[in-house]
Structure 1
Amino acid sequence: MSVEDIGVVTSLRPGEDASRTAGRLKSLSDVMSETDEKLRLGHTAGARVWPTGFGALDLALSGGFRSGELVLLGGPQGLGKTAMMLQVLRNAVAANRTAVFFSYEHGAHSILERLLAIEAAEVAGTDGVNLTKIRAAFEARHSTANNLASRFANAPGGPEAVRSLEAYADRLHIHTSSGLHTTLETIHDTIAELAQRDGRAPMVLVDYLQKIPVPGSSLGEEERVATVVERLKDFALEFAVPVVSIVAAEKGSLVGGRRMRVHDLRGSSALAYESDIVLIINEKYDVVAKHHLVYHLGNAERFRQWVVLSIEKNRNGVDHLELEFQKRFDQGRFETEGRVVEEQLIEERVFRE
């Protein structure tokens, strides 16, 4: 099966083989014929949707992330950007999709530990084995438990977690990426290879965008980010999958007690222009209007247990909506139900369902 056979279209770049662009240019007649054929076969003729598994977010996005979309997630350090998007990837492969994670920040084993904690929580909730105990189990020496199943046999949710990972392990691919060597071309070729091998292109997660090198370039930060984000958008269209990327913030914005917005992201103008969806995560305590704290002192600790996920841009639907999700960082995850923020936020009106 060729790449063209599975509906993957490539874009021509200087120096690239023109044969890679086969199928890029089509008449409207061709598009209508292809659409009729899909409908005749009982297939969907519109965008494919990848539910995130975060209920309130999927509701706001009319189902989830769509094929061809570039999704960006920004926010302060340590607020769980990687954890949230790893949960999204996990939810995709658990639903029989495929995915690839280009990880510039974490090794493959660290991702395995996080997934074990997520799966244990799916079974045992907050009683599921946490990350600290998972790491301790892996680091223990002289244990007679010489495989994953036996090492977590007595951990709450452990046996079920291992079985769940085994069920989708072949569909979730981890690329341990390098800020020196994992270029845009490497990302493109890896996606194409997986699409060729699996017969369908994978959902893509990049952690994080500013780490992607542009070799031989003397571009400044803004221009380099623009190049990277443009190409990631091309990949989303070419392979007809969502491409999700975590983005870094400007150093000057990384201070407590303020609300991070799109303009605080590194290369913000290019990011805002090229992306289809921009999500910003903030700690609720930092962004809620202060009268909720002054007159209700007990709210302070409660708000620290939640993050606010703002839909700053959504090309295909509702935006400027604030959702909140509860942290479960000892298990490397969030509760997935979520809800619309009811409290007034800094420089924002009140949002209610």
Structure 2
Amino acid sequence: MPATVAIIRCDSYDESSVFDAVGRALELLGGAERFVRDGERIVLKPNFLVGATPDKVVNTHPMVFSAAARHLQAASAKLSYGDSPGFGNALAAARKIGIAQVAETLGVTYADFSEGRQVSFAEGELIKQFTIASAVLDSDGLVTLPKLKTHALTRMTGAVKNQFGCIPGMLKGEFHMRMPDVDRFAQMLVDLNRLLRPRLAIVDGIVGMQGNGPRGGDPRQIGAIIVSDDLVAVDATVCRIMNLDTALVGTVTYGTAWGLGDADDITYVGDPIEEFVVADYDVNRSPQSTTGSTGGGTLAKRLIVPRPVIDPTKCTACGTCVSVCPVDPKAVDWANGKGVPPVHDYGRCIRCYCCQELCPERAIDVRVPPLGRFLHARQ
């Protein structure tokens, strides 16, 4: 069965404009009532990577959250919202973003994702058991509200990856340790979504992030609201907007192969997708591996695979990178006290890029070593 994706032009975060765009998308897909029933308890899952103001384009914009909530409330759903960032307090992040204030105004309750329960998933192709936030498990359904961004590990982050935040707190670091290879990490994300089966994705693609995402990148105007109940088709659509080959994105390839969704047969409704494609979108299109799994061991990893690099002129020695590193012993740590930036041990580094993702000063970039650049140029 072909996937249907609604893509609607919306060039600003003006409240009424976003509300109308989300409403038009939902109507083209059959109305909000097609996805939620009267009285159902639905969890909204925006992206709270970190507490950052909307102008930083790191998180789901509060006006997109507001529009989604209002349309689902009109369909008589009982809403809550939550996320589990990799670092810091989720509710504090929601307040900094502005979503908490919107939720309070609309009567959408906060769902604490910090506690979870183990769930068996015999149908998992790779993962047979997950620990999921209890608030998600106790709901009737999930609607995901991702932000369109680049990502150092997965190249892009969209509808499928957003559910990684349904795994409580630092447990996410365990998956990075178990699956440093980006293919296996993507397979885990697909299994996670096959378990959770979100009802709907409503993507904030009005202003996306390019370059050093998912936190340290730059804003890029796109002007799109993307809505579908097929999350794989949504991710394929994001790839198309970024001018990124879907074959390079595991959530799309494995999501299609494992039956989560369909990236091969998409019907677009709304505005022409060609109007949203950004040919020069700054995203990693390198065909080489971007993880610690190169087939050549630690030496190849050091010489070829992209690695996180700290810019000493931006680093404030806050220690966030050290705190979030999932490796034991740490792959990034203090060398000579906190008066100088931490130092990476690239032999231990698994290339999960958590340090780059969560650096509050945008002081960590992911760079390809010289040999890796040489090999890429020859391909």
TM-score (norm 1): 0.35
Looking at secondary structure, tell me which structure has more helix per residue.
1
Q: Greater CA radius of gyration, 1 or 2?
A: 1
Q: Structure with the greater relative contact order (CA < 8 A, sep ≥ 6): 1 or 2?
A: 1
Looking at secondary structure, tell me which structure has more strand per residue.
2
